Amino acid sequence: MTSHCFLGKPDRVGRSLLPMLLAAMLSAETPITRIEWSDLPAAIVDKAPDLRTGYLVVPERRFPTPGQRTVRLPFIIMKSRSASPRADPVLFTAGGPGGSSLGAARNRQRNPLLDERDVILIEQRGTHWAEPSLMSPAIDAALRSGWGKRLNGDPEPAAVRQAMASTLRQFRSQGIDLAGYTTRESAADIAELRRLLAIPSWNLYGVSYSTKLMLTVLRDHPEGVRSAILDSVLPLEADWDESAPANILAVLERVLQVCTEDASLREHCPDLRNRFRGLLTAANLHPVPIAIKNPMDGTPLTVRLDGAGIMNCVYAALESAGGIRRLPLVLDAACRGETQALGPFLEEYLGSTQGSAIGMRLAIWCNEEFPFERPDRMLRPLGLPPELKTFVQTAVHPAALTDWPQGRPDPAENRPVSSTLPVLIAAGEFDPDTPIAWARSTSARLPGAHLIAFAGMSHVPLFSHPEAARIMKAFLADPARRPEPGTIGTRPSFLHALPSAK
C-alpha cells in the first residue's frame, strides 16, 4: 500500500522534488567557486612544460550576497627555474585598471623572480581574456573619433556617449552585472585562488592600479600573505581625477628646476620655464599643427594642439624615464618654433587610450572612484595657471559621469589601508601618475613597509631600473629587512641628448 500510494502521485511529487534533487547533486559535484584545469588559447600563451594553466571560476557578484552567475578568470603558474624553488610563490596582476596580466608569460625567460620562485599570473575579472571580457571596440573607436579632426585629438562627445550606450546594451543583453566589477571583488578572487591552489603562503606583486588591489587584499584577506611588493602606489583614498593636473604640473616643475640648477642645461635651454609658458599662451591663441603617424595603423595624421594639448604631450613624456631625459631639449626646440619635436610624445599620448578593457576600467572608476570625487574639481581643476585653465585629466572620459552606471561603494573603499605585513614600496622621483607623496603616506600607515625612492625614474620603476631585480629578490628573501637605503641611484643625466654629448 505504501508503495502504491507513492507511485499513485508521481506527477506531483516528481515536479516538486526532482529539480531540487538535481540542483543539490549539481551543487555537490560542481561548486560555484572552483578551479578548472585546462590549456589556454594559443593567443594567450603556447603550451609549455614550465607552465600550468587553468581558470578560476567565481561568482560574478559576492556582495551583498553571492549570485549564481559566474566569471572565469584564466591564470598561469610559471614554474621556477630553480631545482628547489622556495615554497612561497609570487602572485602578479597588472595595472590599469583594465590591463591584461597574462602577457608576462611570454617574457618569462627575462623574469628574474623565476630564478627562485614560481610566479602566478591571474587575469582580473572583466579584462581581456576573462570571461566575460569588458572589452569594447565601440568605445575604443569613439575615443579616437577626434584624431585629426578636433582640437588636441579630443574625441567627439556624442560619439563617446553613443558608444557607451551601445556597449551597455550589449553587456546587459549578456546578463553582465557591472556592479560585480570592483576592486573588492577582485581581491576576493585572489584570496580564493590561493585557497583553491592550497598555497599556505605567498607574496603579492602589484603595479599602479593593482597596488590598490593588493592593498585591498591586505585589508580584506591578509591570511596567507607573506609580503607584498607595491610599485607606484595608488592609495584607496586618492582622488586621482581631481589631483592629476596638479600632480603632472608638479613633476614638470621639478624637471624645469633641474634645468635651472644645471649649468649645461641652462646654456642649452635658457629660461625654459618662462619660454614654455609663452609657448602655451601662444598655442591657445593659434593652435599648432603636429604631423604624426596614427598610433593604430601608421597612416599620416595631423593634430592641432593648444596649451592643454601640448601639456598632454608633456604628460606622455613624464611617464617614462627616457621621455623625461628627452623632455628639456624637446621643449626647448618647441619654444624655438620647432613644435614638430612634440610629435613622438603626442603619438604616445593618443596611443595610450587604446588596448585595455575599457569597460572594466569604466566599471572600476564609476563603481568606486567617481562616487568619492567632485565633478566640478575634476573638470575645472583648482590652482592651474591661466594658460592651462582647460587642462583636464580623467582616468575615463567625463561622459561616464552621466552615461555609465554609478556605484554606491562602502566608505571603506575611500579610506587608507593599514597592515602590519612586510611591504616593499617603490616610487619614481618623477612619477606624474602616482606621485611619491602617495607612497610616503601609504608607507606611514604600514609599520612593516620599506619605501625606496628611485632617483630620476618615473612610473613603475621596478619594470626598468637596473637594480630592480636585486632589490626585489633581497626583499623576498627576508621581507622584514630593508633591502636598500631609502633612495637608490643617482638622477640620470639629462645631458646625454645635448649636442655636446653626441
CATH no. of 34-134+176-237+415-491: 3.40.50.1820
Model confidence over 5-42: pLDDT tens digits? 322 322 333 334 444 444 444 444 567 999 999 999 99
Retrieve residue 12's grid coordinates.
506531483
Chain Cα centroid distance, residue 287: 32
Phi-psi bin for 364: left (phi > 0), alpha (psi -120 to 50), beta? alpha
Alpha carbon separation from 232 to 155, 291, 307, 417, 462 (Å, rounded): 29, 33, 28, 16, 9
460 has which bridge partners? none
Sort residue 152 into left (φ over 0), alpha (ψ -120 to 50) or beta.
Answer: left
In the chain, which residues fall in CATH 3.40.50.1820?
A: 34-134+176-237+415-491
Q: Which helix (H) or strand (E) holds 96?
A: none
Residues 379, 370: Cα–Cα separation, whole Å:
12
Single pTM value for the model = 0.92
CB 80 within 8 A of CB 115: yes
H or E element: which one contains 73? strand 70-78
- The count of residues in the chain is 502
Return per-residue pLDDT of the chain as tens, 502 residues: 433 232 232 233 333 444 444 444 444 456 799 999 999 999 999 999 999 999 999 999 998 878 789 999 999 999 999 999 999 999 999 999 999 999 999 999 999 999 999 999 999 999 999 999 999 999 999 999 999 999 999 999 999 999 999 999 999 999 999 999 999 999 999 999 999 999 999 999 999 999 999 999 999 999 999 999 999 999 999 999 999 999 999 999 999 998 899 888 888 899 999 999 999 999 999 999 999 999 999 999 999 999 999 999 999 999 999 999 999 999 999 999 999 999 999 999 999 988 899 999 999 999 999 999 999 999 999 889 999 999 999 999 999 999 999 999 999 999 999 999 999 999 999 999 999 999 999 999 999 999 999 999 999 999 999 999 999 999 999 999 988 777 776 665 564 444 433 3
Q: Helices marked H in 319-432 — which ranges?
A: 321-335, 343-351, 358-368, 375-379, 400-403
